[in-house]
Each structure stands twice: as structure tokens, then as C-alpha cells.
Amino acid sequence: MPAFPSVRPRRLRATPALRDLVRETLLHPDDFVWPLFISEKISARQPVSSMPGVAQLTVEEAAAEAAAARAEGVRAVLLFGIPAAKDEHASGAYADDGVVQRAVRAIKRAAPDLVVITDVCLCEYTSHGHCGVVEREAGGHARILNDQSVDLLVRAAVSHARAGADVVAPSDMMDGRVGAIRAALDHAGFADTVILSYAAKFASSFYGPFREAAEGAPQFGDRRTYQMDSANAEEALREVALDLAEGADLVMVKPGLAYLDILRRVKERFQRPTAVYHVSGEYSMLKAAAAQGWLDERATTLEIMTAFRRAGADLIVTYAARDVIRWLREI
């Protein structure tokens, strides 16, 4: 006999109906963002070996996939581009006929009410794979120049808006880029273009598979002079505060699973629409374990998505978005 016979939490777990009735956190298809990789270098879909179920697509394939996903209930896509040629100044990132710009136009034609979000960064477009402009110093050192990088990011964001992007999402972690992008968008007549800032983005090993998918691995060094140290939570809050002050409409925490504490604190402190990025490594771990039969892919994925919502995420960016939306419909 329990010490307090009338206190029995299990009462509310007794049947599926009771559990449904008292469930605190629900997943809804409207809250997922599906990332797409669009390559100028291919003539047909190219599977990404480290991310089962993910492929690089041509512009035409991306438009078709986006329309199909929209029909299944996907509300938003996030676009990454792989240009035919890279250079020191990432010129493909802000070319009006660049791969992302063309993909935005094609997707908007194929699925006009799909929310099109573009990743604004330079790493897929620079020959060295860094997210900014590199200055090489004597002795082999290299520095990432902040303000010169911001100038190029601004050009990329405006060209995405001109192509028809609803939301631009700077993921580079340079200082001051949100304010600069906001001012430039307003000046160019895009006052309604939304900024989703990768505000708290950590230097993470979980991005490994993405670098195969987006062909944007740094050719030397790492990203630790611009992405955050995974040990720092206070700093993440300062970064989010700055991006909001500069005009970010939505803020993102990235990666997800290993940073749920950050997500919770960002949501509680700022009470703004907050996104989380379930990144490539998190996705690939799940896929690998599921392929071995060690984890139930569907149950585990839904558990993780629920954890994101419970921790405070309003939006979830995940390569599993299409699967999740299908599973939610089946429940």
C-alpha cells in the first residue's frame, strides 16, 4: 500500500483515451520545415550517402518535390544551394541567376503558398569552404573578416528576396549581419521579408553529414572563430538578444538534441517565435540505428520532435519533416 493511498499518478495513464486527454505537448504538421539541397552540378538526383533518404536535387526536381511535399501537408522548405563553381568571394551566393535564386522562383511557381526559406551563408560558395571572407596572413594563418563577410551576406539575402523568398535565414554567425540584412531588405523594398536568424549556432560535430550534402566543408581550420563554443549558454542568450535587437523575427537554436537547455532558456527569456534545427548528424544517427534494427525509427523520431516542442520550439527544421507529417496523419 502506498504511503498516500489516494495519490496515484498512474490513474491518468491507465488508458489511451485518458493519456490523450491529459497530454501536454502535441505535434502539428504546420510546425515543420523541410530542408532541400539543390545542386547546379548534377543532371539528376544524387543521394547523400551519409544521410539516407536525403538527396541533392536539380532545380526542376526541387520544384517537383516541393509541390509534392506541399500536397502532403509540408508548409515550409529551407533551401541550400551547391553552385557549379566556387570562388574566394562566394559570387554564386548573390548571383541573381544563382542556384538558390533559380530554385526559389521554380518552387514559388510550383507551390505558391509554400513558405520558402533560404539559408544565407557563404560556405557552399567559397573555394575555401568558410562562411565568410578569408584573409590569409603570413605564417599560414587565416582570418575570417567580419564586415566584408556581412557585405556579401547582405547581397545574398537581398537577391534571395528579389527571387521571391518569404524568409531569409542567415546561418553564418558573423556579428551584425541581422541588422545589416534588415536595413538592406527595407531599403530594397522588401520590408515584409522575414528574417529567421540562426542566432544560437554552435560549432558542432553534428554538422558532419551536412558537409557532404552541401559540399561546404572548410578546407582548412574550423568554424570556431565564428560559431559558438558548445560549453556556453550565457553567450547563447547574448547572441539571441543581439539578433532580436537587430530585427530578427524568428530565432533558431542549433543543433537540437544536445542543446535543449538552450532552447528552453531562449524561449523562456525572450518569448519569441523560436525554431530548432534537428541537424544532419542527429538525423543520420537515427537512420543508422534504425537501419541496424536497434531503434524504432518512427517512435524515436516522434519522441525527439516532442522533446523539441516540450523544450519550447515553435518550429522544427528536420530532414525527417515529410516522414513526420505522414506519421502524424496516420496516428
Q: Which residues are annotated as catalytic?
A: 201, 254
Counting contacts by CB under 6 A, is residue 119 touching ligand PBG?
A: yes
C-alpha to C-alpha distance for 295 and 253, rounded to whole angstroms: 26
Q: Which of 37, 125, 202, 207 binds ligand PBG (CB under 6 A)?
A: 207
Counting contacts by CB under 6 A, is residue 260 touching ligand PBG?
A: no
C-alpha to C-alpha distance for 62 and 34, rounded to whole angstroms: 12
User: Could you tell me the three cell numbers for 24?
Assistant: 501536454
Smallest gap from Cβ 171 to ligand PBG, in A, equals 4
Which stretch in 14-22, 67-75, 94-102, 119-127 sits in contact with ligand PBG by CB under 6 A? 119-127
Counting contacts by CB under 6 A, is residue 280 touching ligand PBG?
A: yes
User: Are β-strands 142-145 and 133-136 bridged in parallel, bridged antiparallel, or unpaired?
Assistant: antiparallel
Minimum CB distance to ligand PBG smaller for 50 or for 193: 50
C-alpha to C-alpha distance for 74 and 62, rounded to whole angstroms: 14
Which stretch in 26-34, 118-126, 160-168, 322-330 sits in contact with ligand PBG by CB under 6 A? 118-126
Of residues 42-81, those binding ligand PBG (CB under 6 A)? none
C-alpha to C-alpha distance for 230 and 208, rounded to whole angstroms: 15
Counting contacts by CB under 6 A, is residue 279 touching ligand PBG?
A: yes
Counting contacts by CB under 6 A, is residue 125 touching ligand PBG?
A: no
Strand boundaries in the chain, DSSP class E: 32-39, 46-47, 55-57, 76-82, 115-120, 133-136, 142-145, 167-170, 194-201, 250-254, 274-278, 315-318
Of residues 151-180, those binding ligand PBG (CB under 6 A)? 171-172
User: Are β-strands 167-170 and 194-201 bridged in parallel, bridged antiparallel, or unpaired?
Assistant: parallel
Smallest gap from Cβ 202 to ligand PBG, in A, equals 9
C-alpha to C-alpha distance for 260 and 254, rounded to whole angstroms: 9
Cis amide leading into 255 (omega within 30) = yes
- Residue by residue, DSSP assigns 184-201 as HHHHTT-TT-EEEEEEEE
C-alpha to C-alpha distance for 37 and 204, rounded to whole angstroms: 20
Burial 150-164 (b: 16+ CB within 10 A, else e): bbbbbbbbbbbbbbb
Which stretch in 116-124, 145-153, 160-168, 306-314 sits in contact with ligand PBG by CB under 6 A? 116-124
Minimum CB distance to ligand PBG smaller for 123 or for 181: 123
Minimum CB distance to ligand PBG smaller for 67 or for 177: 177
Q: Which of 125, 190, 202, 210 binds ligand PBG (CB under 6 A)?
A: 210
Minimum CB distance to ligand PBG smaller for 187 or for 224: 224
Minimum CB distance to ligand PBG smaller for 61 or for 172: 172
Q: Which of 63, 121, 163, 311 binds ligand PBG (CB under 6 A)?
A: 121
Chain contacts with ligand PBG (rule: CB under 6 A): 119, 121, 123, 131, 171-172, 207, 210, 223, 279-280
